[in-house]
Amino acid sequence: MSRAALIAYGGWGLLTLLLIAGTLTSLSQAERTGRKAVLARAEIGASAVEQTMLRVFEAAQTLQTLAQTRGRLVDTGNLAGVQAIDEQLHDDVSAKHSGIEAVNIYRRGRLEWTSDAAGWPGRIAGPSVGPGDTPPTPAGLQVGAPVQNAASGRWSVQTTWLLRDRAGAEDGQAVIWLDPMALSEMIARQSSGPGVVSMVQRRSDAVIIARSQHLGRALLERPSAADPAFVLARQAARGQLEDRTGGVDRLVGVQAPESVPIVVTQSFNTAVALGEFFHLRQIVLAVMLALAAGAFVATRLILSNYLLRERLGEQALRDPLTGLCNRRYFTDSMARRFVSARRDGLSAAVLLIDLDGFKQVNDTRGHPVGDSLLRQVADRLRLCIGEDDRVMRLGGDEFAIVRLCQQQRRDSTSLARFVVSELSKMYEVDGYHLRISASVGVALYPSGGEQLTDLLRSADIALYFVKAEGGDAYRIFDPAMEETVRTRRALEIDLRGALAASQLEVYYQPLVQLEPRRVSGFEALLRWHHPVLGLVMPGRFIPIAEETGLIAPIGEWVLRQACQEATRWPANTRIAVNLSPVQFERSDIISIVASALRDTRLPPGRLELEITEGVVMRDIGDVLATMRRLQALGVRLALDDFGTGYSSLSYLRSFPFDKVKIDASFLADLHGDGGTIIRAVLGLCGHLELDTLVEGVETEEQLHWLRVEGCTEVQGHLFSPPRPAQGVAEIIANVAARIPAMAGARGYATQ
């Protein structure tokens, strides 16, 4: 996982953790607050019921007081008072005051008075004392369990109160019967909400006396061990309590009055009491999880976008073919690194590398082979550099190396020499064994410039000189080189206006046919009359024209001028015009030639187009098709400067040439290898029925040797240097006048 991904997911995890922790803390605090509120509500509810129950027992105590007064009146013989008390007791019980159903008064072990004339209490099943029986002797106020009347099925709760005489001695008991259903209704009216209110005996075997949600026979049942009312009745606790017995979470308020042996509780099921909160908590948790998931998705999207931009940014700095850094990296990242290296006291060097012969490989073997070759070159360059060096592909077959070092000149020279050596070794690409070379221009800081771009420009100047000297070498930039390049640049600027300013002129040099001896034609040769430099020769400005593309309009102008001039010559005289590779590659070259012939009305057979080996080494299929279309116009084709480049005799068989022009350089060694090569080419061309012309003939000896070997035509200063158009007639006359003399001197047979 990348560092960016770790940071992104780590940040997401931290934020999610903080979100969860903050949310859970808030929810926990809210739950505690809710629990406290419910507990307070339960305690208040239990207290309210407690007050109601105390009023019931206060009413019972009033009856107990009346019963005690009655006993004293009986003892004093105050029958009227006894009768009044009996009526009061009967009225209070008959009114069902505060849930009281009946009263029995026992004195000295016998039933002295009962509110039910039928003896209702005596018929109550259970531990109660019947009429005539001796009641139990309580230790204080006692509250019994609910009991059911065997006859009526009604429930009652027995409470026993002590009676005392005037001396304070125990004198009997008042047994007051309470209606538990009425009590349940009373406490139900006091309670609110979903809570359960219970009134329970306060003893170890406690039972429920009344409950706000009781129905019928439920009073017979003892509370379960998990019932908080039962548990708290034994503890006689007071206040607020959180109870989780039986696996149920309850919030309980408890009251245990000291004067009455009961415990009053109001309990709330937490899930019910805080139901809205728990529902809201589920929503909050769901939202929190959704936010966390959303944050994760957003993090993924942001990270993916960041990584995509990072990859795109890296790709923008990488050459897709070789994987090397590209020109943008050179101008951006490398420039910043260069500035930093200068601050650290390091020097810098830029090596600009151009592949010699790559274009020919790319044109003849195809672009896939060329691309594979470039990848192998990139691999070799990676092996040439050190850890702190950077190698880049600037475009096409141009590479650059930036080296930051201490001993710049010695290190950079060694590196340049190593690069030239490594790149010049044999390559094997897609079954082809290929050999190219490399030209390297080197610029050192600070002589080559203060900025990285200045160093690159200086390295380019040094590379220009390497290429001009034939390549397969390196040169270190010298400030003097800049003046040469500046002059060349000025020449380029002047050349752009030369055609419009009528500074260009076509010169003509005769082509002399040996059998029969005559001027067979002229080669059109361009000259530039520079307003300051004077006469500029083609070797100086034609390469500039080809590099800048100016050769296209200039070449078309030369073609038209030469064809127009040739119409003034004898009908059997041809005009030879050179086509540069740039012109030949143009898709409209056929229409240009046809237009020139049509506009000048020159017969096509009188036009001879000279094509260099550099043209035929390109895409064979396209070149061959173009040559055949030119021949279809009726023009002749000549292979120019044969033997100066990557000459192959197969060209003579593969392409539809009419003539082969042998380069003048072979004449310098006429009696050695040069002569052998000329003799071989002449013999082959004779066998293929191709005309031949040898350039650069300057002596009669050379002329005689070529005639003997079967050469068809010659060209050179022996007959005439190139001259302007107005000198053509004079050249024809001079050559015609010289032929008899030359023939006699060398044994020519005169015709």
Lowest-pLDDT range of 275-279, 436-440, 508-512, 565-569: 275-279
pLDDT at 373 over 60: yes
pTM, to two decimals: 0.53
Give 697's pLDDT tier (boundaries 50, 70, 90).
Answer: very high
pLDDT per residue as tens digits for the range 54-66? 778 878 888 878 8
pLDDT at 24: 86
- Over residues 646-651, the mean pLDDT reads 60
Strands of the sheet containing 196-201, edge to edge, are 208-211, 196-201, 262-269, 250-255, 239-243
Give 565's pLDDT tier (boundaries 50, 70, 90).
Answer: very high
Give 195's pLDDT tier (boundaries 50, 70, 90).
Answer: low
pLDDT at 281: 84
Neighbours of 264 (CB within 10 A): 33
pLDDT at 126: 34
pLDDT per residue as tens digits for the range 126-171? 334 343 344 555 556 778 777 777 666 777 888 888 888 777 788 8
Q: Across all residues in the chain, what is the average pLDDT? A: 81
- Over residues 269-290, the mean pLDDT reads 84
| Selected residue with higher pLDDT from 408 and 323 | 323
pLDDT at 719: 93
| Selected residue with higher pLDDT from 417 and 651 | 417
pLDDT at 87 over 50: yes
Give 622's pLDDT tier (boundaries 50, 70, 90).
Answer: confident
Lowest-pLDDT range of 366-370, 402-406, 681-685: 402-406
Identify which of 13-27, 219-233, 506-520 has the greatest average pLDDT. Answer: 506-520
Give 377's pLDDT tier (boundaries 50, 70, 90).
Answer: very high
For residues 189 and 143, what is the distance between their CA atoms, to the nearest angstrom? 23
How many helices (H) does the chain have, and how many strands (E)?
A: 23, 27
Neighbours of 87 (CB within 10 A): 10
Identify which of 111-115, 220-224, 262-266, 503-507 has the greatest average pLDDT. Answer: 503-507
- Over residues 358-376, the mean pLDDT reads 88
pLDDT per residue as tens digits for the range 477-527? 998 888 888 888 898 899 999 989 999 999 999 999 998 889 999 999 999
| Selected residue with higher pLDDT from 215 and 334 | 334
For residues 538 and 531, what is the distance between their CA atoms, to the nearest angstrom? 16
For residues 625 and 656, what is the distance between their CA atoms, to the nearest angstrom? 10
pLDDT at 696: 93
- Nearest Cα residue to 228 out of 190, 205, 200: 200
pLDDT at 119 over 60: no
pLDDT per residue as tens digits for the range 62-80? 887 888 888 888 888 888 8
3-state helix, strand, coil in the chain (%, to 5): 50, 25, 25
pLDDT at 293: 84
pLDDT at 456 over 80: yes
- Over residues 381-404, the mean pLDDT reads 89
pLDDT at 567 over 60: yes
pLDDT at 233: 56
Return the beta strands (E) in 484-605 as ranges. Answer: 504-513, 518-530, 534-536, 574-579
| Selected residue with higher pLDDT from 455 and 647 | 455
pLDDT at 597 over 90: yes
The CA–CA distances, whole Å, from 646 to 398, 438, 547, 579, 614 equal: 23, 17, 21, 18, 8
Residue 690 · residue 660 · CB < 8 Å: yes
pLDDT at 235: 57
For residues 202 and 224, what is the distance between their CA atoms, to the nearest angstrom? 16
Domains located in the chain, CATH noted: 1-313 (3.30.450.20), 327-477 (3.30.70.270), 493-745 (3.20.20.450)
According to DSSP H, which parts of 157-227 are helical? 180-190
Rounded-to-10 torsion of CA 244, 247, 249, 251 = -40
Lowest-pLDDT range of 343-352, 626-635, 654-663, 703-712: 343-352
pLDDT at 330: 80
| Selected residue with higher pLDDT from 484 and 592 | 592
pLDDT at 229: 60
DSSP single-letter state for residue 140: S
Structure tokens at 259: 């004067």
SS3 of residue 642 by DSSP: strand
pLDDT at 159: 84
CA 466 to chain centre: 44
pLDDT at 47 over 50: yes
Percentage above 70 pLDDT, the chain: 83
Residue 384 · residue 427 · CB < 8 Å: no
- Over residues 244-260, the mean pLDDT reads 75
pLDDT at 645 over 60: no
pLDDT at 237: 58
